[in-house]
Amino acid sequence: MIDINIIRTNPELVKENIKKKFQDKKLPFVDEVIKLDNKIRALKQEGDSLRAARNTLSGKIGLLMREKKLEEANEVKATVVKNNERIAEIEAEEAVFSEQLKKRMMAIPNIIADDVPIGKDDSENVPREYFGEAKVPDFEIPYHADIMEKLSGLDLDSARRTSGNGFYYLTGDIARLHSSILSYARDFMIDNGFTYCVPPFMIRSDVVNGVMSFEEMENMMYKIEGEDLYLIGTSEHSMIGRFKDTIVKEESLPLKLTSYSPCFRKEVGAHGIEERGVYRIHQFEKQEMIVICKPEESMTWYNKMWQLSVEFFRSLDIPVRTLECCSGDLADLKVKSCDVEAWSPRQKKYFEVGSCSNLGDAQARRLGIRYKTKNGSVLAHTLNNTVVAPPRMLIAFLENNINADGSVNIPKALQTYMGGKQKIEPNK
């Protein structure tokens, strides 16, 4: 959520930012916020004056009663009663206007970084850096679901019967590979100085509203019927929520955390051939990295975090690139974001396997995450980034490590986790 002081002092900046994000329908919210804010501040001022007057008059009543000036005391009492009635009206009006203000404030997007490319949607995202040689072998690479099935590692038909489309069974060496990648990702992050966590997989609505926009929530989150609980779409949600309404010690910053969780997503509107198999699914597992830091350090950490993702994928012999998200593709709370995309030699193109985001103080403002300095408490900055999210990542892994005979090489970094195996062989 944006700082209201920015709207008070520079509404044109906020409007220009809305235009950069191609959300012109939200432009009226800025003027509405200013009007509501003025009303609320005027009511607060009136209420404070009436409360001060009430305190003075209450003291006067006692004095008049002691002096036996009953008629005058009763007149003052009547004034106090009238003031109390008006104070109650003011508090009711404040509550209504404050709710209206909050609703509009929650919809106004965060101010994006100056260097974010301007574009309407993800088709205008900008490739930035390439890592590793994107090769295409001299043999045909099968579709990832076919590779897995030939390795006796995927059962989609049973999953459709038990759960519907968008679910899967992983078995045998593919299931082991899936778990090995997550274990390696955990240890990779620990070795890079991050603290490992396993968070709750369900969170309350106040945490959901603190970490994401309403539009994102509607398109992503599964609600638990009859309870104020949502299944998490990523462990970032519960990891950031952990610090709700807390003041972090300044000397403990930055907080560097890496978390494992299953993730659940509606994937509203997902369709197409590349969604067949395990590309776009309702349930997956992920290793995430989260940083909570001082504002002046957040862009440094943003760059460190996506670089860690690149290092991780290159250690598994997977070529990757970074793709900077344009203004229209940024979620409302984000200041800056980039995707890490893996090379698909079958499709001869890159596809998303992770996303790194700097959210500035937007989540911290909504959730009340601060740290204490000599001059008082300050809102922290929050960042998140995908380390790895199999089984989608398995697509890139299999395509980049498959051999002509259908076997799949296991990179050295994973062999310990795979019981020393150097290859996964097809069933004969």
Token output for 400? 């980049």
Partners of 131 in the β-ladder: 320
Q: How far apart are CA 51 and CA 343, in angstroms?
A: 66
Q: How far apart are CA 75 and CA 340, in angstroms?
A: 73
- Residue in the block written with tokens 């001869």: 348
- Quick one: which H or E segment has residue 74? helix 70-107
Using the predicted structure, report yes or no on whether residue 273 has a pLDDT greater than 60.
Answer: no
Averaged pLDDT, 238-258: 96
Q: Say whether domain 122-424 belongs to CATH 3.30.1330.10.
A: no
Q: Where are the domains of the chain?
A: 4-107, 122-424
> What contacts 34, CB < 8 A, 6 or more positions away?
7, 8, 11
Given pLDDT bands bounded at 50, 70 and 90, which one contains residue 272?
Answer: very low
CA 130-383-330 angle, to 5 degrees, is: 65
Using the predicted structure, report yes or no on whether residue 271 has a pLDDT greater than 90.
Answer: no
pLDDT score recorded for residue 56: 83
Strand, helix or coil for residue 48: helix
Token output for 33? 């916020």
Taking CA atoms, 325 is separated from 118, 320, 342, 383, in Å, by 9, 16, 16, 15
Q: Tell me the pLDDT tens digit for each residue of 337-363.
A: 999 999 999 999 999 999 999 999 999
Given pLDDT bands bounded at 50, 70 and 90, which one contains residue 269?
Answer: low
pTM for the structure as a whole: 0.89
pLDDT score recorded for residue 66: 75
Q: Tell me the pLDDT tens digit for each residue of 199-237.
A: 999 999 999 999 987 677 777 889 999 999 999 999 999
**High-pLDDT (> 90) share of the chain, %:** 82
122-424 has the same fold as 4-107: no
Largest pairwise CA distance in the chain: 108
Q: How far apart are CA 355 and CA 306, in angstroms?
A: 8
Q: Tell me the pLDDT tens digit for each residue of 81-140.
A: 888 899 999 999 999 999 999 999 999 999 999 999 999 999 999 999 999 999 999 999
Q: How far apart are CA 107 and CA 262, in angstroms?
A: 29
Q: How far apart are CA 107 and CA 214, in angstroms?
A: 8
- Helix pair 392-401, 172-191: axis angle to 10 deg: 100
Q: How far apart are CA 206 and CA 208, in angstroms?
A: 5
Q: Tell me the pLDDT tens digit for each residue of 73-94.
A: 777 788 888 888 999 999 999 9
Mean pLDDT of the chain: 92
- The answer to whether the CB of 196 falls within 8 A of the CB of 190 is yes
Q: Where are the alpha helices (DSSP H) in 270-408?
A: 298-314, 362-367, 392-401
CATH number of 4-107: 1.10.287.40
378: left (phi over 0), alpha (psi -120 to 50) or beta: beta
